[in-house]
């Protein structure tokens, strides 16, 4: 596609429920990244996929968080048993292998846990 697409744009869920956030990267981009941005805060790195290599999961805050990338394209970030502190904007980005021209970001999914 022309840009990075994320869905849903907004998600309200009850504490304890599982949620899935979707990211559709730019066609041909081999690298895909997930970040979390809490209100008024900077970017918190979560996970990084590069081609067929094992993902870099070093930023995942707990084992309730997981992500997969199917067929080297679409990625899903899953949060199990959501907590109120999970409320944030989840941003996805993609890039070429070497990221020379930086990352292209999606508009994000705003997650609210009530």
Partner 1 sequence: GEDVEQSLFLSVREGDSSVINCTYTDSSSTYLYWYKQEPGAGLQLLTYIFSNMDMKQDQRLTVLLNKKDKHLSLRIADTQTGDSAIYFCAEKKGTGTASKLTFGTGTRLQVTL
Interface positions with partner 1 (CB under 8 A): 4, 31, 42-43, 48, 50-51, 53, 91, 93, 97-108
Q: CB 46 → partner 1: shortest distance, Å?
A: 13
User: Which one, 76 or 105, has the nearer CB to partner 1?
Assistant: 105
User: Which one, 64 or 110, has the nearer CB to partner 1?
Assistant: 110
Q: CB 107 → partner 1: shortest distance, Å?
A: 5
Residue reference for tokens 């094992």? 54
Q: Give the whole-angstrom CA distance, residue 108 versus residue 3.
A: 12
Which residues, 6+ apart, have CB-to-CB distance to 85 below 8 Å?
Answer: 113
User: Which one, 74 or 105, has the nearer CB to partner 1?
Assistant: 105
Q: CB 92 → partner 1: shortest distance, Å?
A: 8
φ and ψ of 49, to 5 deg: -110, 135
Q: Give the whole-angstrom CA distance, residue 66 versus residue 77.
A: 6
């Amino acid at each position: 596609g022309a840009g990075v697409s994320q869905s849903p744009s907004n998600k309200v869920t009850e504490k304890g429920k599982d949620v899935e956030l979707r990211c559709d990267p730019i066609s041909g981009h081999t690298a895909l990244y997930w970040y979390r941005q809490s209100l008024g805060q900077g970017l918190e790195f979560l996970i990084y996929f590069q081609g067929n290599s094992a993902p870099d999961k070093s930023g995942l805050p707990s084992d309730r968080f997981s992500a997969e990338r199917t067929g080297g394209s679409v990625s899903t970030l899953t949060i199990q048993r959501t907590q109120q502190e999970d409320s944030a904007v989840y941003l996805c980005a993609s890039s070429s292998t070497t990221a020379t021209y930086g990352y292209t970001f999606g508009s994000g999914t705003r997650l609210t846990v009530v």
